[in-house]
Amino acid sequence: MTNNAYLGQHLSDYGIKPSYQRIKILEFLLNNRIHPNVDQIYKELVSELPTLSKTTVYNTLNLFIEKGLVQMLTIEENETRYDIDTSVHGHFKCNNCEEIYDFSVSLSTDELKDFKIKEKYVYFKGVCKDCSTK
C-alpha cells in the first residue's frame, strides 16, 4: 500500500491538485500494472468510494494524460487502456486472455533525425506464453 501524502505530493509535482479520488485512482494504477480500462478502475474503487462515477474516472485519466503522468493505449480500435509507465516501451496483447504485457524496446530514430517525434508506440498481438502452453 502506498502513502496518501506521498501520492498527493506526486500529483502536485505533475501540477495536479490532489483530491481523494485522484489519489485513489493513482494508487490503483501504481499497485495494479494491468493496463486497466475505465470500467476496471471504476469497479475496483466504487465500493471504497461510493460517490465515484465513471465520468470522474474518465476525467481524472484525461487529466493524468494531459499532465504526462499516464499514457493511453489503443491497441484495439474499440478499447482504451491506461498505463502508468510512460517510458518508451512496447506492448503485447494476447488474443486469448486479453492481457497486455510490457516489453523493452530499443528504437533507433536516426533515419528520422530531421523530424519532430511527438509519440512512439510499439504494439504486438498474438498468443502469450501462458495461453500457448494450454
> Is 89-133 assigned to CATH 3.30.1490?
yes
Task: Report the predicted TM-score, pTM, of the whole model to 2 decimal places.
Answer: 0.89
Annotated binding site: 94, 97, 128, 131
Look at strands 100-103 and 90-94 and give their pairing: antiparallel
Query: Percent of the chain having pLDDT more than 90?
Result: 82
Residues of the chain within CATH 3.30.1490 domain(s) are 89-133
pLDDT score, position 108: 78
Q: What is the pLDDT of residues 8-60, one digit of tens each?
A: 999 999 999 999 999 999 999 999 999 999 999 999 999 999 999 999 999 99
In this structure, whether the domain defined by 4-74 belongs to CATH 2.40.10.330 is answered with no
Binding-site positions for Zn(2+): 94, 97, 128, 131
Question: Boundaries of CATH 1.10.10.10 in the chain?
Answer: 4-74
What SS3 state is found at 101? strand
- The distance of Cα 44 from the centroid of its chain, to the nearest Å, equals 15
